[in-house]
Amino acid sequence: MSPSTRRLLKESTDLQTNPSPYFHAAPVSDTNLFDWHFTLLGPPAPSPYAGGIYHGRITLPPTYPLRPPSFRFLTPSGRFEVNREICLSISGHHEETWQPAWGIRTALIALRSFMDGDAKGQVGGLDVADEVRRRYARESRAWRCDGCEGSKGRGNEVVMREWWGVCRERGGVVEGEEDFEGEEDKSEGKDGDEAAAADAGISAGVDAGADSTSQIAQAEVQPQQPQQQQQLQQHTPPATRPLPPVPAAAPAAAAAAAATSQDTPWLDRAIIGVIIALVAMILRRLTRDMDMD
């Protein structure tokens, strides 16, 4: 098994074990792990893509993750051209910015945040009116992928609803689904700003700070594991008490200084005694010389 195949199997398992309520991604077939399809929930309001559910394709190179994947949207969105490879810092158009530590989960989180950005002439980008994007968002829920085995001819909304059920089974939290259920009925017979206001209901439970990849990564819902949390609390080691401070020993320099100060008087006396003895010897010598004369 090649490193790329092993990596893709690991990512596929992780996406099933720790599902995100914001997107679903899986290989098109079990025999080809390098061709994936994804279903992505649009960014939250006030984004014009709020309420939209978009389907797309991920093509991974044989050397993945050393080289980045490429992305294309199959659902009309008004942000990206349909079925054309898009130019992003996480895609094959910018291999110099890709990091092998990233994966499909990271790329989809970033892709969701990039939707609210301006096209600015990027490859595969579109600049259209927000009302057109809101209309595409409403129409995207019923869009079907004919070549996707995972959807089995079902619409994007049906696929995401089933995926939300998987998220709940895995312990994940799906917020805002109740608001989403009524969006289709509310939007019928409405257009313009009224329809856009109805579409905003989907974002009730989605983190409003989805402006960058790092913020969305922090906001992504992870499965809750209460049993593991209880085990961690039970096995939390008791707090350690600090040891009483050990009294510092007297510095050797202080002891030496004290000894020197005690010996100083004796040294002075010895020097004085030697001087007196020398003076006495000199006087005796002088006295003896005078007597001889």
Catalytic residues: 87
According to DSSP, residue 68 is labeled: -
Q: How many CB atoms lie within 10 A of CB 33?
A: 20
According to DSSP, residue 155 is labeled: B
Q: CA–CA separation, 215 vs 42, rounded Å?
A: 16
Q: Which residue has the tokens 């291999």?
A: 95
Q: How many CB atoms lie within 10 A of CB 3?
A: 11
Distances in Å between the Cα of 58 and the Cα atoms of 68, 153, 154, 291 are: 10, 19, 19, 127
Token readout for 99 is 């990091």
Q: How many CB atoms lie within 10 A of CB 150?
A: 18
Token readout for 55 is 């389907």
Q: CA–CA separation, 40 vs 77, rounded Å?
A: 11
Phi, psi (5° rounding) for residue 136?
-60, -35
Residue 240 burial class via C-beta count within 10 angstroms: exposed 0-12, middle 13-18, buried 19 and up = exposed
**Residues across the chain:** 293
Nearest to 3 by CA among 38, 37, 33, 35: 33
